[in-house]
Amino acid sequence: MELKEIKCPHCGHVNPPGTQLCQSCGLMINEDYDKNKIKDVMRYDGSAVRSKVKSQSIFDKIWIFFTSIRNGVIIIALIAIAASIGTILPQQYFIPIGVDPETYYSDNYGTFGLIYYKFGFHNLYSSWWFVLLNAMLALSIIAASVDRGVPLYKSLKNQRAKKHPSFFKRQRITLNSETADSEDVNKIIDGLKSKRYKLTEEGPHLLFEKGRLSRWGPYINHTGLIIILIGSMLRFFPGMYIDEILYVPEGETVEVPTTDNKYYIKNEKFILDTYEKDSGSVFDKSLAMQGDLASNYQTNITFYENLSSDVVGSEPDLKEIDTDEIRVNHPFKFENYDIYQSSFDNSSMKSMTFKLVDKNDKQVGEEFTVDLKDPESTYEIDEQTNIELRAYAPDFQEIGERGELISQSPVARNPAFVFQVNNDSLTTPEISLLQIQNTDEITPNNEYKVKFVSMENQIATVLTLKKDLTMHLIAVGFIIFLIGVFIGSYINHRRIWINKENGLSLAAHTNKNYYGLKKELNSVLNENGFDFVNDKDEAEHDDRMKG
């Protein structure tokens, strides 16, 4: 079909292709326009909607696909359905760390779990197709907004007060009074002005308008949504998003990662408080039903700046700049970073204390304490005796080929020691291997024995270091979205056309809430002795009810 400009048979104005109502006088000039697609032709009166123009190029076809509200709704529904599938089984980030996901899903959920895993539903929200669906939604929002926003802008800008009589007849709200004189009409004009309507006059033709902003509500909220979608994509740009774990044993100072050696944090003390049971409070009953309930997780920190961070390879020169108590819901903030209380770890040990006993189980000399992080090589326990630490593994796994101790990790979870006892009375030193709950003599028939006395646990706090520069953009997008929804929902765009050539001819339109428009109009009309307006829909409704 060839696209033709349409000349209005009534006023002669030449309209662009696809126009439904004449831009100039409001006559319906394109009768075969598909009425099912836009229920309310008044929405873009006097403007052509690109996607509604029957047209052929591939670009136009893609454009039409994405401008369609129906397709937009389908995309939204697909996203919602996909999202729900992701909640059937836990996502991978909820399963225990370090477990093979395939084994985990098939062991715990059988065949269904395996299928779920094979389809990639265990990482659904970052899967390519879920991201693609969201990109399609963004495209749909943009296309639909541009497609409708441009003609809307034109139609609102080009409004004429003069409208064809058929335009009046088509409106839902009308009033005709041939007996009205100009004085009455002027009173109505004043009445409407006092309701804060903006008046445009063209001879005997008047247009009253207010709340035009309402029409832009959907465009504003869609802009907000696009900002949110852009914001969530920004996360993948380097430097925008940082998520690190800080493991800090009590009393230790560590570098804050990703800050180029500039900041250091010290865990002064980790505090875990629980609620007191049987304290006579209203909570006694529920507390008695369960184990200890945590009331507070807290890390007291000192925050340092490294003054020599720009000198490569130099020793850190720390200057204290802040102290804080990091608790759940109360992160510590610096620059664009936040440090959160995440969890704690008390599975490692700080130190172990031993004593030396002779054959009769009598203690020799003083007890000695081995710092598991930084053990000494000899411990002097009295004037004739010292104990040498020949070998040490913080997390003992096995004895190596050359007799050394092999450690699984540097964390003191399962320490093992080789002690050598040197005493003036011994001809040869005695050597033994000590593990938790086990002692092996390496030299035979030892006189002395090293015995475990006590240990001190090392408590470490686990903090989360977060930097998210996308967050503020997303928040702004959301606020714009909400403002758009409010404007679109609670402001009404009301227009009233008056032709005072022959008495009074009035028509009114609103984008929503006809009830409110009628109420407002009737109060103005009533004060000036006119009848109530006619409402086509109400007449139809009454007919239906009677029938």
Q: Which residues bind other proteins (CB under 8 A)?
A: 39, 69-70, 72-73, 76-77, 79-80, 83-84, 86-87, 89-91, 93-94, 108-109, 125, 243, 275, 281-283, 285-287, 289, 293-297, 327-331, 338, 340-342, 464, 466, 468, 471, 474-475, 478-479, 481-482, 485-486, 489-490, 515, 541
For the record, the structure tokens of 73 come out as 């709704």
Q: Answer positive or negative: Cα dihedral of 12, 17, 22, 23.
A: negative
Q: What is the identity of the amino acid at 9? A: P
- Residue with Cβ nearer other proteins (250 or 468): 468
- Residue with Cβ nearer other proteins (125 or 182): 125
Q: d(Cα 126, Cα 106) in Å, to the nearest integer? A: 21
Contact yes or no for 15/6 (Cβ under 8 A): yes
Smallest gap from residue 325 Cβ to other proteins (A): 13
Smallest gap from residue 484 Cβ to other proteins (A): 10
Smallest gap from residue 223 Cβ to other proteins (A): 15
Q: d(Cα 342, Cα 337) in Å, to the nearest integer? A: 15
- Residue with Cβ nearer other proteins (186 or 296): 296
Residue 150, φ and ψ in degrees, nearest 5: -65, -55
Smallest gap from residue 118 Cβ to other proteins (A): 19
- Residue with Cβ nearer other proteins (3 or 77): 77
Could you tell me the CA-to-CA distances from 191 to 132, 146, 209 in Å, in that order? 54, 37, 13
Smallest gap from residue 69 Cβ to other proteins (A): 4
Q: d(Cα 504, Cα 494) in Å, to the nearest integer? A: 19
- Residue with Cβ nearer other proteins (13 or 235): 235
- Residue with Cβ nearer other proteins (5 or 243): 243
Contact yes or no for 70/47 (Cβ under 8 A): no
- Residue with Cβ nearer other proteins (158 or 295): 295
Q: Which residue in 12, 44, 45 sits closest to 28, CA to CA?
A: 45
Q: For helices 69-85 and 128-157, what crossing angle results, to 10°?
A: 150
Smallest gap from residue 247 Cβ to other proteins (A): 15
Q: Which residue in 525, 467, 521, 420 sits closest to 171, CA to CA?
A: 521
- Residue with Cβ nearer other proteins (193 or 330): 330
Residue 51, φ and ψ in degrees, nearest 5: -70, -15
- Residue with Cβ nearer other proteins (158 or 286): 286
Q: Which residue in 298, 247, 301 sits closest to 274, CA to CA?
A: 298
SS3 414: strand
SS3 368: strand
Exposed, middle or buried, 375 (CB in 10 Å: 0-12/13-18/19+)? middle
Smallest gap from residue 329 Cβ to other proteins (A): 5
For the record, the structure tokens of 67 come out as 């401008």
Smallest gap from residue 12 Cβ to other proteins (A): 33
Q: d(Cα 303, Cα 324) in Å, to the nearest integer? A: 8
- Residue with Cβ nearer other proteins (58 or 282): 282
Q: For helices 69-85 and 58-67, what crossing angle results, to 10°?
A: 60
- Residue with Cβ nearer other proteins (93 or 532): 93
Q: d(Cα 78, Cα 136) in Å, to the nearest integer? A: 11
Q: d(Cα 386, Cα 365) in Å, to the nearest integer? A: 9
Smallest gap from residue 289 Cβ to other proteins (A): 8
Question: Which residue is listed with tokens 């992080």?
Answer: 373
Q: What is the identity of the amino acid at 121? A: F
Smallest gap from residue 295 Cβ to other proteins (A): 7
Smallest gap from residue 87 Cβ to other proteins (A): 4
